[in-house]
Structure 1
């Protein structure tokens, strides 16, 4: 028997779970589908923590999303009793001379400062000496660094955010099917037919938020626009957590001129003596199904030797944990939020490009509002497919 709904949401990671929750909250008849059982470790929405900051160097167009996300996570905390957002502060630091780049954006620190000034976001601009005074766990600073500090930034806990949104969606009437793969979808007259391993679903509209599985499902033009990059997260044992203290921020530390000359990390989680750090790579491609999930111990050893040693107080080469995830990346490292060019009842929300989780709750709200015909308060034009030609 064919299931009929207003909206089918395909993929229940960061973007999909947020969209499902917001649609159900508005009273829509909605079904969410995922081939796995989220939250899980096979996509891009796991790893214990994700950095969030409201003044984003990637561009001012993102600020409304992350601002809304912070509000939504606080609302979900009140509704569920879960802790989702820890506003421990966020530090973005680069050399005081030369040009450094992050996510393809030169002068990322300067862009962050400009974004904060333009949006009225509380922040401070620090040099290396002030960073060392405030945060003594950063070692061997040159002293002339330029840093952006946002006291309202910090980290969110992705697995909890997904679980909270899915639970609230279900409580509001959403149907959730996990362990259910989508085989195909097609627009047929005034609706969408979704063929799954559990049968057919008929929807007025569909939202595809399948992350790394988007291109295999949709084909052109997404197969030429989306690239999958394997990333690795590392947790190292700490000899002492005292240097970090309660005000230790999340950080993005650019120490060179290239996009890979940096590391990012988090303060120790409460009660733990481990330090989570990572970097990013954009040179090697893979696929969602072929990606190597196992982390070779040599990867963690190299990460420590090249980026961690003598930079972070108390960090030892002892690896407590390591995990792999995937980024789905566009050519300009921006998001795609747009109608499918051949199916105007399919909205594609994918390609977080390595900086999406902090925006996801707000994006879900914007999509649900748009589908519900509510006034649009966030401009989605910068995320359209047309920019790729």
Structure 2
């Protein structure tokens, strides 16, 4: 059994945890990251080749400054590492005219003077021929959106964290942690570690480590699909923006063809049952595929070719849709990042910075009021 002492320990080295380990190590903090699975792995929320990046934030206008800071940090990480992480394609938000899906997107752009255009479905279809949206739908086009290479981003954060002196231990399961007078003690199936500060970024397993989140997190199953386009040029990054659409077939999101073959998209169900992240149907089914193909057949017909790949992932919803980012209400030496509700990966870089702020300064200057725990768990 291993024994060790560190300045900080990070539980979970997926999207958020890898960024936290990196930012802590870059500040000279002696940090240990502990990951239950591989680094990276495909059992949680941060896999599947790509994740959407967008400055348009219908969830809440206060998300926009976080997204802008995240973009700056992604570009800095690219410069430091030489890796290509963020590809800009523009982003489309589309839905029925007058609906909140579009009006909230417009509000977030206007609140922060983001360049954007309000278009009809017909306008979008003409400009981007891979699309076939309802002609009378309303759409917001924002030119700075795009996608992140998610596994590459995690690997890059960890690789650079190593260069800055971090230690990362994978295939190690955390059994429990305890608050101590001067920090925390973490016990795993391989050892025991002490630290001044603890970061919990355990994704769908966060409630296992944080009883206060037991009734505040809902891990849910999602399916992603990759299809062979009939007209590949229409689905290339320079001619196909990432999208979030509310259409008669349901709510969907999607991407152009990236490093891996196929036009990728997924569905956000109106109702979804919670799952046990240790025991769930992680193999996609024919029914999953058929449900997804309702979108491609009607709204992206030139992308509705043979199936290349199906994959599942876990989305962990919070109670109100806003993720939790704060210090523990009882233990100031413990910080929390959880409940990213399917739209969190774009913020990974800045969340890592916020978590490093908590560990080194006890507070952050980033605008995270909507993400504080406060009375949200009552």
Cα separation, 2, equivalents of 1:243 and 1:86: 17
- Conserved? CA contact 2:335–2:359, under 8 Å: no
Cα separation, 2, equivalents of 1:267 and 1:51: 11
Cα separation, 1, equivalents of 2:65 and 2:335: 20
Aligned to 1:114: 107
Aligned length: 374
Could you tell me how far 1:166 is from its partner in structure 2?
0.4
Aligned to 1:237: 228
TM-score, L = length of structure 2: 0.94
TM-score, L = length of structure 1: 0.92
Cα separation, 1, equivalents of 2:259 and 2:21: 31
2:353 to 365, 373, 386: 365
Aligned to 1:299: 288
Could you tell me how far 1:343 is from its partner in structure 2?
2.7
Could you tell me how far 1:317 is from its partner in structure 2?
5.3
Could you tell me how far 1:333 is from its partner in structure 2?
1.1
Alignment of 1:70-109 (within 5 A): 70-97=71-98, 99=99, 107-109=100-102
Q: Secondary structure at the match of 1:75?
A: helix
RMSD: 1.7
Aligned to 2:47: 46
Cα separation, 1, equivalents of 2:136 and 2:341: 31
Aligned to 1:103: none
Alignment of 1:1-389 (within 5 A): 2-97=3-98, 99=99, 107-139=100-132, 141-219=133-211, 221-244=212-235, 246-256=238-248, 261-269=250-258, 272=261, 274-281=262-269, 282-304=271-293, 306-316=294-304, 318-373=306-361, 376-388=364-376, 389=378
- Conserved? CA contact 2:233–2:239, under 8 Å: no
Q: Secondary structure at the match of 1:288?
A: coil
Which aligned segments of 4 or more residues in structure 1 are displaced greater than 4 angstroms?
A: none
Could you tell me how far 1:152 is from its partner in structure 2?
0.7
Q: Which runs of 5+ in 2 are unaligned?
A: none
Cα separation, 1, equivalents of 2:38 and 2:49: 17
Cα separation, 1, equivalents of 2:346 and 2:108: 16
Q: Secondary structure at the match of 1:292?
A: coil
Q: Secondary structure at the match of 2:193?
A: strand
Could you tell me how far 1:328 is from its partner in structure 2?
1.0
Could you tell me how far 1:134 is from its partner in structure 2?
0.6
Q: Which runs of 5+ in 1 are unaligned?
A: 100-106
Q: After the TM superposition, which of the residue ranges 310-319 and 79-88 deviates more from structure 2? A: 310-319
Could you tell me how far 1:318 is from its partner in structure 2?
2.3
